[in-house]
Structures are given as structure tokens and as C-alpha cells.
Structure 1
Amino acid sequence: MRQITSVMLARRYGLDAKFDKLSVRKVGQAMLRAGVEVAETLRARAEGDFNYEPRDKLLVEALRERPEPSSMPPIVHVETPPVIAGPIFSEAAETFREAQLRRKIWENQTYSQARASYALFRDFAGDRPLSHYVRPDAARFKALLEDLPANYSKAPEFRGLTAQKIVEQTRDRDVGRLSSRTIQRLLIAVEK
């Protein structure tokens, strides 16, 4: 416990944690209590109780006595090593497509459609590590698809334009948009 407490204090606050045993034990106990309170709060939220209040008397007291931000000492930021994020979207998508074709799960048409779907998403959301995409990216992508003309990939007037540019150019025009079935197919392809 003493080592964990010392490491956490050093990483989070840049403090050289050479404290007496009693101080380290108190901090360690406070960290454990806070961890339990966090777990209880998350459980309550998972059950739909967003009005959950902490029950730990020391935590409640500390929250009441919280000092004004101007009187608090500045937080020392410690450089943390970069997080390994995994493969970028285009690499993962290509690996997945190849595996689907190799295992004969997909036919050539599905394989080609997936390539187009992945390219559309990559151009829209960027080519980032998979772990860097969030739910709002998917929601914005769906909104883009709903505004895309049905002929966006075939019409000569749209060649060389991004999906966003096509939507901007056709927003006020009366053109046929992608069907809900096509949107669903594109979303499912990207989801995989």
C-alpha cells in the first residue's frame, strides 16, 4: 500500500513521497475510501440514480470544506508516457476486409462496398487510432449520410469533393437523398 500511495502521489502531483509511515497510511486509506465511493457512485449511475450523494463522512466533510480555487496550491503536471493507441482506422479496416474475404464470409461485392464505406468514414472523421473515435463521431457521420444525395458517388459534378462539400452544395437543393437502407448498410459496415 505504501508503494502504491507513493507512486500515485509522485505521478499525479510530482511529490517526492518520502513521508512518515502514518501520513502515508492516512493518504492510502483516503485513496481506498475514495475508490469505494467512486465505485458506489458508478453503480448508482448504472442503475439510473443520478442524484446519488456520497455517504463517506470524511469525503462529505472534505467536499463541504473545499478551499477556494485561488487559495489552492497549483497542480504540478507530470509528463506521462504516451498511451499505445493501436492501429489506425485505415489499417484496421483493410485488415478486417481482407480477413472477411479470405474466410469467405464476404463476397467481392460486399468487400468493395466496405472499402467505399470505410473511405467515406475515414475522409469524414479522419484516420485515427480506433481507440480515439467516440460515439459523437458516429452520430455526426450518420447525420452526414442522411444529408448525402443518393448519387453522390456517381454524379460527375461531385467528383473530387468530400462528402461534407457535397452536402454543403446540395443542402438547399431538391435532390434524392440516401435511403435509410443504404445509410444502415454504411453504418453497419463502419461499425464492424
Structure 2
Amino acid sequence: MLDACAELLDENGYAELTTTRIAERASVAIGSVYQFFPDKRAVTQALGLRYLEMFSARVSARLAQESFGHWPDAVDAIIDEYIVMHRTVPGFRSLHFGDVVDVNLLDAGVDNNTVIADRLRELVVNGAGARRGERLDRTVTVAVEAADSVLKLAFRDDPDGDRLFIEEAKVLVRSYLSRHFGAR
């Protein structure tokens, strides 16, 4: 059902998505959809959480396989994983992490970018050697917000993402993190 939802999001967007269409695409009875999901928002929420887990796993694997002199150097790898998902994972370019549906789709208590920042903070602590603290919390939050804005701009008119804006997102975040955490 989630795969069917992803395909439909890419084809017609969230406004045209219905549970009936999801059931038809998944070749299941509508009751099967309602057995697991009360409405299309719940289906897209599950899909957004799937994307968050997929993104986290990809970033974690990348951090484990590459060596970074200093954790802010991992920025390019993190953004690259987002770009690859945007280009290759069905439904991701339409849903991202859920902002098109609701800024609180991933967690009713906080906005989607905060959920992503929290997850990335844990990944850079566990996989790239960053030290926990209020300073890290704040800078990762700002970095996620800044990258999100520039990456949305990169994909606004180019389905593959404008290469120059993608590079600017990396430069922006690396520069910002260097200002706060500098090279060791």
C-alpha cells in the first residue's frame, strides 16, 4: 500500500490522492487500507516515516564506510544521500518528509525538520564523532532548515535538482558548521 501511495504521489500529487486510488493501485480491497490506515494522511505519514528510516539507514551506512577528519565534513555525504533519494525513490520527491501534507506529519508534537534534525544529530554523534550539547542541537537545527530551503529551491524548476544550487547548499551548511565547530 505504501508503494502504491508513493507511485500515486509522483503521478498526481497529494491533492489527487485517495484511499480508493491507493487500494486500486495496490490491488487490495478498500477495507484492507482502512484496516491499517484511517485516511490518506495516515498512509502518507507511514510513507514519510519509511523515508525517514531509509534516509537514516543510508546516512548511517555512509558515515560508517567513509572516514571524516571532522564531523562537519560529513555534510556532503548527508546531502548526497538526500539528493539520491529525491532522484530515485518513488514518491520521495513529491512527499519529501511530509511538508506537502503537514509540517507535523512525522510527529504531531514537533515539525518535520525538527524530527530530521534530531535524527541527524544522533547520526553525527554516533557515526561521525560529534559531541552532544545545546550548541550541537542549535547548529544542526539551523543547518537542516537552511539546507531544506536551498534544496527546495534546487528542485523547484529542475526535477533532477539544479547542480549549482545543490552545491551552494553544501557550501552554506559546511561554512555555517565550520564557523561554529571549525576544524580540529
- TM > 0.5: no
Higher helix proportion: 2
| TM-score with structure 1 setting the length | 0.23
| TM-score with structure 2 setting the length | 0.23
Give the structure, 1 or 2, with the largest relative contact order (CA under 8 Å, sep 6 or more): 2
Larger radius of gyration: 1
